[in-house]
């Protein structure tokens, strides 16, 4: 399959039809695996890396899941194509920086992606829409079982799967979910959540940008440790925590509707106004405003049928997607103008926020949202 054919298909996980899809965008599991007798990719000499690649790639291409897949050496991809794959979460930034000696194999539905010679010989991931970590794990486990028949993986009786970085040793597994938490951010509860989750050995990170500078109110929740806990224990624990986070986000949304309706309407109204009228927009601003539009759909201020447009814009307004779709390399200012244009065009048919079913709050405090 050619790169343009692959990219022409929207990723399955972007369809937004999985369980809890309003808050959980996607679930992802990745395994790190290495060959027993070979130096890790970062330490192997060029010739050995090439041998490793030729040893692994045919086995990956042979997988029943990878029939009709996109399979390519990194040096054959343009910088822009690599960046598009990064934005779709199909390869890592680290893999995007690789050239000869590394490769990537991705199935057509883009639910399965296998990187060869990233930090480890094999980095394989499965990715689905919504909260379905167990299904995603099962899919990846099957692929792993098939590969271990053909490849001699480095495994230590006490330490488990051996990885280039000691932080991944053991299961070699990182399970994560991408969550959209605008109400927790808006009500200043997000830091509490991050701290609570960190205390129990899980990590919450902003999806774009680190720490509190999370753009688009998108966060990634994942396990931090890989040794001393079984795979299904890690996944069960993570799943429980994510369900709790969903609950907190839903409560925060209800509270906003009841106590701070005017603030909420103001944010959504401004997002709508700016997105439909701006002529220059950075990807950061777009992400943040689209986040409020998404919240607006979730809360019924926009008809549910308009949800896919917003979900698509999250991806299409990313820098590499923008350039790929316009078939040219663009300067930052040109990109911002193009982005604003695409958003205006896509939202042309988008109705204004419908504030009807939720009347303005009583006693006239609506004009002063931050009143003491």
How big is the chain, counted in residues? 372
294 is a contact residue toward another protein (CB under 8 A): no
Query: Residue 47: is it exposed, middle or buried by C-beta count within 10 angstroms (0-12/13-18/19+)?
Result: exposed
Kindly tell me which of 231 and 316 has the beta carbon lying closer to another protein.
Answer: 231
6 is a contact residue toward another protein (CB under 8 A): no
Kindly tell me which of 58 and 228 has the beta carbon lying closer to another protein.
Answer: 228
141 is a contact residue toward another protein (CB under 8 A): yes
Contacts of 342 (CB under 8 A, 6+ apart): 313, 316, 317, 322
Whether 33 contacts 120, CB under 8 Å: yes
Applying CB under 8 A, which of residues 228, 273, 303, 351 lies at the interface with another protein? 228
Kindly tell me which of 148 and 360 has the beta carbon lying closer to another protein.
Answer: 148
Q: How far apart are CA 36 and CA 113, in angstroms?
A: 22
- Tokens matching residue 356: 């009807």
227 is a contact residue toward another protein (CB under 8 A): yes
156 is a contact residue toward another protein (CB under 8 A): yes
Partner residues linked to 32 by β-bridges: 123
- Tokens matching residue 92: 């890592």
148 is a contact residue toward another protein (CB under 8 A): yes
The site string for another protein over 26-55 (x = CB under 8 A, - otherwise) reads: --------x-xxxxx-xx------------
Kindly tell me which of 38 and 294 has the beta carbon lying closer to another protein.
Answer: 38
- Tokens matching residue 210: 């680190």
Kindly tell me which of 52 and 289 has the beta carbon lying closer to another protein.
Answer: 52
- Given the rule CB under 8 A, which of 81-89, 96-104, 176-184, 194-202 is the region that contacts another protein? 194-202
Kindly tell me which of 147 and 338 has the beta carbon lying closer to another protein.
Answer: 147
| 290: nearest Cα among 266, 307, 303 | 307
240 is a contact residue toward another protein (CB under 8 A): no
Q: Which residue has the tokens 């601003």?
A: 285
Kindly tell me which of 37 and 363 has the beta carbon lying closer to another protein.
Answer: 37
Kindly tell me which of 147 and 268 has the beta carbon lying closer to another protein.
Answer: 147
Partner residues linked to 33 by β-bridges: 122
Cα first-last separation, the chain: 60
Write out the DSSP string of 202-252. Answer: EEEEESSSSTT--GGGEEEEEE---SSS-HHHHHHHHHHHHHHHHHHHHHH
Alpha carbon of 262 to those of 19, 214, 265, 293, 294: distances in Å?
30, 24, 5, 15, 17
79 is a contact residue toward another protein (CB under 8 A): no
Kindly tell me which of 117 and 171 has the beta carbon lying closer to another protein.
Answer: 171
Binding residues among 172-191 for another protein as defined by CB under 8 A: 173, 191
DSSP 302: S
208 is a contact residue toward another protein (CB under 8 A): no
The site string for another protein over 106-135 (x = CB under 8 A, - otherwise) reads: -------------x----------------
Q: Which helix (H) or strand (E) holds 128?
A: strand 122-129
Number of residues that bind another protein (CB under 8 A): 50
Binding site for another protein (CB under 8 A): 34, 36-40, 42-43, 119, 141, 144-145, 148-149, 152-162, 164-167, 169-171, 173, 191, 194-195, 198-199, 201, 203, 210-211, 224-231
């Amino acid at each position: 399959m050619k790169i343009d054919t692959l990219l022409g298909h929207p990723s399955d996980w972007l369809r937004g039809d999985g369980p809890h899809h309003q808050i959980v965008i996607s679930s992802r599991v990745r395994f790190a695996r290495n060959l027993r007798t070979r130096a890790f990719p970062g330490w192997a000499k060029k010739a050995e890396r090439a041998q490793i690649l030729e040893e692994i790639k045919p086995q990956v291409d042979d997988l029943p899941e990878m029939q009709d897949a996109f399979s390519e050496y990194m040096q054959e991809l343009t910088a822009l194509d690599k960046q598009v794959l990064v934005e779709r979460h199909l390869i890592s930034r680290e893999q995007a920086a690789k050239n000869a000696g590394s490769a990537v194999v991705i199935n057509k539905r883009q639910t399965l992606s296998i990187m060869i010679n990233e930090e480890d010989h094999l980095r394989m991931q499965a990715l689905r829409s919504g909260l379905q970590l167990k299904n995603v794990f099962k899919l990846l486990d099957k692929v792993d079982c098939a590969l271990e028949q053909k490849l001699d993986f480095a495994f230590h009786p006490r330490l488990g799967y051996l990885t280039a970085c000691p932080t991944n040793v053991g299961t070699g597994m990182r399970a994560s979910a991408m969550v959209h938490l605008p109400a927790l951010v808006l009500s200043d509860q997000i830091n509490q959540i991050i701290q609570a989750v960190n205390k129990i050995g899980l990590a919450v990170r902003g999806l774009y940008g680190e720490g509190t500078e999370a753009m688009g109110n998108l966060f990634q929740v994942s396990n931090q440790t890989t040794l001393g806990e079984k795979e299904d224990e890690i996944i069960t624990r993570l799943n429980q925590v994510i369900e709790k986070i969903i609950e907190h986000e839903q409560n925060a949304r209800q509270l906003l509707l009841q106590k701070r309706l005017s603030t909420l309407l103001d944010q959504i109204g401004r997002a709508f106004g700016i997105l439909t009228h701006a002529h220059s927009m950075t990807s950061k601003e777009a992400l943040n405003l689209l986040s409020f539009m998404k919240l607006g759909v979730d809360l019924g201020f926009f008809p549910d049928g308009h949800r896919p447009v917003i979900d698509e814009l999250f991806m299409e307004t990313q820098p590499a997607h923008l350039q790929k779709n316009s078939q040219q390399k663009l300067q930052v200012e040109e990109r911002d103008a193009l982005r604003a244009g695409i958003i205006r065009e896509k939202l042309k048919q988008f109705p204004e926020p419908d504030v009807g079913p939720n009347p303005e709050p009583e006693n006239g405090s609506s004009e002063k949202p931050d009143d003491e």
